Every structure is written in C-alpha cells, then in structure tokens.
C-alpha cells in the first residue's frame, strides 16, 4: 500500500523518482501555491534547494514536478523536505493538495500523501525523504506555519528578502545552489518561492553539481562553506554564509525590479556537534538481559547519542531512536539562565524538559520518542555557556523497588503493583521542593498525554503521599533540591493526615 496518512512513513525503493505536488488550480478563491525542495544537513540546516517545475493545469488541476536522482545527492544531505507556500491565502483554501512519488523509470506509484487537515497555515511542510539503513524513506508530515514564509525560513535557518519600502515582501524563487560563500558571518540567502514556479534559470556554474533544467534534479546545489563535524553523522557542523547566484531573478507582478534587498538576519548560533564537548560524559553501562526485558514495552535499545554546543541553539537529531521512552541527560557550564525544550515542526514547545541550575552536573528527564519525527531540541542559554545533551536507552535506569534515595533529578522503574508513594526531601537550604512524575506505557503514534503527578511539595521538610499506579511505569524525580527518598507502601496503608497537603495538616492539628 503506497498511500499513507499524516505521521506515517514507508520505504521508497529505487534511485530515480518523480515527485509531484498536485492540487486544484488557483483562481476563484483558491490561492496560488509555490513548491520547493530543501536539502538539509545533519544539523537540520538548508544547504541547498531544488525547484519544482510547474507542469500546467489539466482538468482544473495544477501540479509541480521534480525528477530526482538520489544517486547524485551528496552524503551530507540527510533529508529532502518538500515545502509549499501559499500566496494571498491559506493552504486550507487549496483543495486536493497532495504529494506523490513514483518511479521515474516505470511510473509505478511509490508513495502518496493527501493533505486533508490544512487550515490557517500559509507555509506547509508536506513531507520529507530521509536516509535510513542505506536507502530512503518518505514521511508524511503535513505540519505548517501560520506565520508563513518567514517562520519556515527561521526554522530551517535561511534568510528571505527584506520588505520593500511601504510594500509587500517580494520573496523570489531560488536559483541554482545556495553554495556560494559570502563571508564567515553572512546568512544563508535561500529565497523561498512566491507566485508561479518556473524552471530555474541559474547557470550550472553556480552549483556544485548543477541543477538540471525543467525541474530535473540529476544533481543538487550544496553549500561550499567551510564547516566542521563533531563525529559520525554530522558532516557540516558550522557552515559559512552563502551568497545568491548572479543570474537574474524571475519576474512577478508583486515584485518590483530592483526592490529586493537582503534581509539583515541576526548571526546564527553555532550548530551543535555530534559527540562530547567540554563536559565529560560517562557512557551508559551495558544493560543486563533482565533490565532489557523489564523495560521492553517502554523503550528500545540503542547506543548513546551525544550532542554538544555553545550558546542558544535549535537542532534535530540525525539519528532517530526506536519507538518508546528515552532518557535525556543534559548539563552545562556557567551559572546563568539555561532551558531545554523538545520542539515541534513549528518550533513551538512540545515538551518542557526543564532547566539546569548547577554547572557541570547532569540533569535527567524521560521523554517519548514515537519514531514518526526526528527529535528536535531548543537550547536557551548564555552565548558563553557550553552544554552537552545525551540521549540514552531506558534500560540503564535503576528499579524503584520498595524504597530509593538520591539527590537531584533521577528516573526510576516501577514494576510492582499499585500502591502509595511517599516522597520526602531534606533540602540543602532552609526550604526546598520535590516534584515526582509518573510516565505510563504508550502506543506509538497515540496522542501525548500528561504524566501523572506523584508528588509536588515544598517547605522546610517536604513530605507527601500519593497513589502510585501499577507498573510498569517510570517514576521521574524532576525536582529534588536536596536529598530525597521514595518509599512504596501498600494501598491505603498511609495514615490519612499524610495524604493531605501542608495547609490541611496544620488545620487538622489546630
């Protein structure tokens, strides 16, 4: 079966494909749509683009086409993302929007995704082709941006033309490659499409391999800026800025000749590198067969994945762990503000992983990875601070048992029956707080749900008892400012006064 729904993926066999984006032709309330393919490196940064050729309207249907030879795609390109930008309207106003992949040799349909839930988005990631086990797979994404072109450009760290004086943003079609160097501090000026899409008029000399005419991609544009990688999987860690080709742009009714000015984009942060940085990382111990079996329905096995960087950053993992829960350990240098989030395609917060208040000490969180999308992270901190993030398998956690003690954040495995969890904290200062969450098994692809609150208490000696669900589940101490202890008791064995919050205990004693 080649037709898939949003979030699903499937292998795309063969080397030569024809990619088509089809929808109802513009007019009568249907906005114009421009389509491009962004070539992304392991840091989720656009290093090139391919233009889809408009084939013309047939039976009130319009299509853009790209013939792609994957054998000519360089190894630094990890993903090819198909993006659509609406003009003078939203993509929810475009009926019949779909992306289809077929064999260029036989015409056999290999993948089909029909977008059926677009609403207010003005820019949309239709789908992506990504490398996996020596081949390619297609993932139906269908996620977009209400803010349109500029939000998409920010997410993939590319620039768009600045607004003209008193006029609209004359965003032009990209031509050739984004691979010309414009100095070490310049932005990457990929000008995303607006209005009708035509053939690229760029000279083959402007690309590393050259872009085929008529939307055919026997090669692709690639960045030539000097970069560095931090280990296997990241071949372009920090690209220099690039400049546009010297050929003339397409002409559009909205764009006035000579009115395009380069956006003054802020300097981009240095992308993270694959591998440890300034903070030492202790490898995960080899998991015992018993530990692997205990967490079998909660998470899979994989090798530790380490990223390091400096200052604020936003990146996607180049390796996707198996479906299930994963451990996220993070530490930083310095003592200022630091925050870590998992983000969605819109760049919005998906999971707040918290902060790190102590220099060089790892915090630990547990989060879900459904294997539908690569995990994407956003780090917020001072430009001088260095940080390290380690993604580990959950088989390395220790079991909660009848009791456990520790300091700081921790993740434990509960495999026993339902009961009462008594949480205590001995603060390092006059007062402190303890917060414990429970994470139950999930089905891949199911909607995310909030973790169970197993403890949330503060004071000079916080203590709270709450119901503990039947295992298996992860018990995560996400805040413990001091020495904490967790005790598991049978249900209803805790005296009633221990189940009440601090204010109700004081009232009961008065």
* 83-142 pLDDT per residue, tens: 999 888 899 999 999 999 999 989 999 999 999 888 899 999 999 999 887 899 998 988
Residues whose CB falls within 8 Å of the CB of residue 98, separated by 6 or more in sequence, listed in order:
21, 22, 23, 112, 113, 114, 115
Residue closest to 213 by CA, chosen among 426, 65, 396, 80: 65
What are the phi and psi torsion angles at 39 (to 5°)?
-95, 120
DSSP secondary structure string for all residues of 71-130: GGS-TT--EEEEEEEEESS-GGG-TT-EEEEEETTT--EEEEEE-----S-SEEEEEEEE
At residue 346, the pLDDT reads 67
Residues whose CB falls within 8 Å of the CB of residue 134, separated by 6 or more in sequence, listed in order:
none
Rounded Cα–Cα distance for residues 125 and 115 (Å): 10
At residue 373, the pLDDT reads 64
Rounded Cα–Cα distance for residues 480 and 501 (Å): 18
At residue 506, the pLDDT reads 37
Structure tokens at 248: 């003339």
Q: Pairing between strand 216-217 and 61-69?
A: parallel
DSSP secondary structure string for all residues of 340-409: EEEE-TTS-EEEEEEE--STT--EEEEEEE-SSS--EEEEEE-TT-EEEEEEEEGGGPEE-TTEEEEES-
At residue 228, the pLDDT reads 26
Strands across the sheet containing 305-310 = 273-274, 305-310, 386-393, 324-332, 363-369
Structure tokens at 13: 């066999």
At residue 165, the pLDDT reads 42
Query: Which residues of the chain are modeled with pLDDT < 70?
Result: 1, 57-58, 159-271, 345-346, 371-373, 444-448, 493-510
Cβ atoms within 10 A of the Cβ of 267, count?
10
At residue 110, the pLDDT reads 94
pLDDT tens readout for residues 214-252:
333 333 333 333 222 222 222 233 233 323 332 222 222
Gyration radius from the chain CA atoms:
26
What's this model's pTM, rounded to 2 decimal places? 0.53
- Residue environment code for 416-433, b if the CB has 16+ CB neighbours within 10 A, otherwise e: eeebbbbbbbbbeeeebb
Cis preceding linkage at 472, omega within 30: yes
């Amino acid at each position: 079966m080649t037709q898939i729904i949003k979030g699903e993926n499937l292998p795309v066999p063969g080397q030569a494909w024809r990619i088509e984006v089809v929808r109802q032709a513009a007019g009568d309330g249907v906005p114009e749509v421009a389509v491009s393919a962004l070539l992304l490196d392991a840091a989720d940064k656009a290093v090139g683009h391919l233009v889809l050729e408009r084939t013309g309207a047939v039976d009130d249907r319009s299509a853009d086409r790209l013939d792609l030879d994957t054998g000519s795609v360089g190894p630094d390109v990890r993903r090819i993302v198909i993006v659509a930008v609406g003009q003078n309207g939203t993509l929810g106003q475009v009926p019949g929007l779909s992306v289809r992949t077929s064999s260029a040799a036989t015409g056999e349909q290999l993948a089909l995704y029909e977008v059926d839930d677009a609403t207010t988005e003005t820019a949309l990631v239709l789908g992506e082709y990504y490398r996996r086990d020596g081949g390619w797979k297609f993932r139906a994404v269908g996620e977009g941006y209400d803010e349109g072109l500029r939000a998409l450009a920010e997410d993939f760290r590319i620039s768009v033309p600045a607004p003209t004086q008193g006029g609209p943003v004359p965003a032009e079609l990209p031509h050739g490659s984004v691979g010309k160097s414009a100095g070490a501090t310049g932005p990457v000026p990929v000008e995303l499409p607006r209005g009708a899409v035509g053939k690229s008029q760029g000279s083959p000399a402007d690309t590393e391999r050259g872009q085929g005419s008529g939307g055919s991609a026997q090669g692709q544009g690639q960045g030539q800026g000097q970069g560095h990688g931090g280990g296997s999987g990241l071949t372009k860690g920090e690209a220099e800025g690039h400049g546009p080709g010297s050929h003339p742009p397409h002409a559009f009714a909205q764009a006035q000749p000579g009115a395009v000015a380069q956006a003054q984009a802020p300097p981009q942060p240095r992308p993270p590198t694959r591998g440890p940085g300034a903070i030492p990382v202790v490898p995960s111990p080899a998991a015992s067969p018993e530990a692997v079996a205990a967490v079998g329905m909660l998470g899979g096995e994989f090798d530790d994945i380490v990223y390091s960087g400096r200052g604020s950053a936003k990146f996607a993992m180049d390796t996707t762990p198996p479906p299930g829960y994963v451990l996220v350990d993070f530490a930083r240098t310095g003592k200022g503000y630091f925050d870590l989030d998992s983000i969605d395609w819109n760049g919005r917060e998906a999971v707040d992983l918290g902060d790190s208040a102590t220099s060089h000490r790892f915090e630990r969180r547990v989060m879900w990875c459904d294997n539908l999308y690569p995990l994407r992270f956003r780090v917020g901190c001072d430009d001088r601070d260095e940080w390290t993030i380690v993604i580990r398998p959950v088989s390395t956690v220790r079991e909660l048992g009848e009791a456990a003690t520790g300091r700081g954040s921790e993740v434990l495995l509960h495999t026993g029956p339902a009961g009462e969890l008594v949480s205590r904290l001995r603060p390092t200062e006059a007062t402190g707080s303890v917060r414990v969450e429970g994470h139950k098994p999930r089905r891949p692809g199911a909607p995310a749900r909030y973790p169970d609150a197993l403890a949330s208490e503060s004071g000079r000696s916080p203590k709270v008892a709450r119901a503990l669900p039947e295992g298996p589940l992860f018990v995560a101490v996400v805040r413990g400012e001091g020495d904490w202890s967790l005790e598991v008791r049978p249900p209803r064995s805790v005296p009633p006064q221990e189940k009440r919050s601090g204010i109700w205990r004081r009232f009961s004693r008065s």
